[in-house]
Amino acid sequence: MMMEATTEKTILKNLIQNDSYMRKVLPFLKEEYFSDRVEKKIFEVISGFILKYNKAPNKDVLSVCISERTDLSESDYKETKDIIKEIVSKDGPPPDEDWLVDNTEKFCKDKSIYLAILESIQIIDGKSENSKNHLPTLLQDALSVSFDVSVGHDYIEDYSERYEFYHKKEQRIPFDLDFFNKITNNGTPPKTLNICLAGTGVGKSLFMCHHSANCLTQGKNVLYITCEMAEERIAERIDANLMNITMDDLRDLPKEMFNKKIMDATSKITGKLIIKEYPTATANVNHFRALLDELKMKKKFVPDILFIDYLNICGAARYKNGANVNSYMYVKAIAEELRGLAVEMNIPIFTATQTNRSGFTSTDIGLEDTSESFGLPATADFMFAIISTDELDSMGQLLIKQLKNRYNDSISNRKFIVGVNRAKMKLFDVSKKEQEDLVCSGQSTYSRDDLSEKFKSGDQFSDWKI
């Protein structure tokens, strides 16, 4: 008598009969996904044999392996023989492999969520070793079950895909500052962590507020997380930037005038800006991930770019508060978790960090001036310093220095000047003439022919302005 076909039996049957399917799905299947005791035992035998011999067992091998088990009752053994007979039989054409893989993935997801719910009930009832703090992770892991059948890029066989990648136009979010676009190849791509390094009061938040306003005017959805200032203070800075008025004038505006100016400033903006405040040193990447899920569910808001102000006053998800861990490991963990979030959400993340004591008074900041952890620049995709001096302040300018750049050659345009209007929280391009006095900036004042002639004539390079 033919037994009723089920998803579990279909999976077991094709593990034996379809080698391609078997190699795609076996890494994702687990014994606990099989609720029937006999089917679970058969899966144990099949998966154990495949892992040991790198091929599926046939009917005789299955029968021998099952007969050697001592954990089956007489009725279980009889049922096992019937199931083996069914899964090794070839009745009709095999099902479509893509359909098989998709349905097996759905089976694994459903079973994973079901088991997570059962475990959650055990935790709530106090019958599990795990605490209630484990519930979010448990459910999140269950919801994230997915088949990834890719085993890497084959250099010889995948040359065509590689060529397409070389010529694919990557989606980037551009700046409204020329030199930032030059050094990043016209903006920041998704799945990246971008860090601004500066001393206290130099302009970290100013830069992020200005770039937030720029992204908003491009029609991008912007999420700004602040662990330092109040939500209203961040909004105030972005208001001043978008309305092009000073913060003092902004506070003095009558309500009717304010309403008119905000309507004029946002009339052509199609993106959204959400500002969320967390208490200092309490929020970590898990809080940010939960916020992103909540915004998506409640407001249908998915950000195109995320600003976090700022990294050092976030928490590390992998370390508990008060854990005995040094600052190098702690800050590095925060950076790695934020970059992981950028990859997971497929967006660029901008954040900032402070300089150390020597960097605060330095007029030529380097990576060694990063506070607390050198692991931070090791994790970043793009890192730059904002430098301010009394002379630059008097001219309304800031010096930008590249520290690390995975988007372009960091030697080219290593240093450049941007204008700043602190009252309006704005940055702007300065004239080319104002860039020319920078030393070791990478901004060559010679053409390729000029360089060739100087090389031939034996001129010394030490006095060149580069």
Q: Average pLDDT in the 437-450 region?
A: 56
- b (16+ CB within 10 A) / e for 45-76: bbbebbeeeeebbeeebbbebbeeeeebeeee
Higher pLDDT, 185 or 310: 185
Residue pair 188/271 in contact by the 8 Å Cβ criterion: no
Beta strands in 310-461 (DSSP E): 348-354, 382-387, 397-405, 415-421, 426-429
Residue-level pLDDT at 324: 76
**389-427 per-position pLDDT tens digit:** 889 999 999 999 999 999 988 788 889 999 999 999 999
Residue-level pLDDT at 151: 65
CA dist., res. 228 & res. 247, Å (int)? 19
Residue-level pLDDT at 405: 94
Residue-level pLDDT at 443: 65
- Read off the amino acid at residue 265: A
CA dist., res. 11 & res. 284, Å (int)? 40
pLDDT band of 436, cuts 50, 70, 90: confident
**321-365 per-position pLDDT tens digit:** 656 778 888 889 999 999 999 999 999 999 999 888 777 767 788
- 3 state SS of 15: helix
Residue-level pLDDT at 306: 97
**47-98 per-position pLDDT tens digit:** 999 988 888 898 888 888 888 888 888 888 888 888 888 888 877 788 888 8
Q: Average pLDDT in the 173-179 region?
A: 94
Residue-level pLDDT at 242: 93
Q: Is 47 left (phi over 0), alpha (psi -120 to 50) or beta?
A: alpha
**8-51 per-position pLDDT tens digit:** 989 999 999 899 899 888 888 999 999 888 899 899 999 999 98
DSSP tag of 34: -
**195-215 per-position pLDDT tens digit:** 999 988 899 999 999 999 999
pLDDT band of 448, cuts 50, 70, 90: very low
* Domains of the chain (ranges, CATH numbers): 7-143 (1.10.860.10), 178-435 (3.40.50.300)
Residue pair 46/40 in contact by the 8 Å Cβ criterion: no
**267-299 per-position pLDDT tens digit:** 888 899 999 999 988 899 999 999 999 999 889
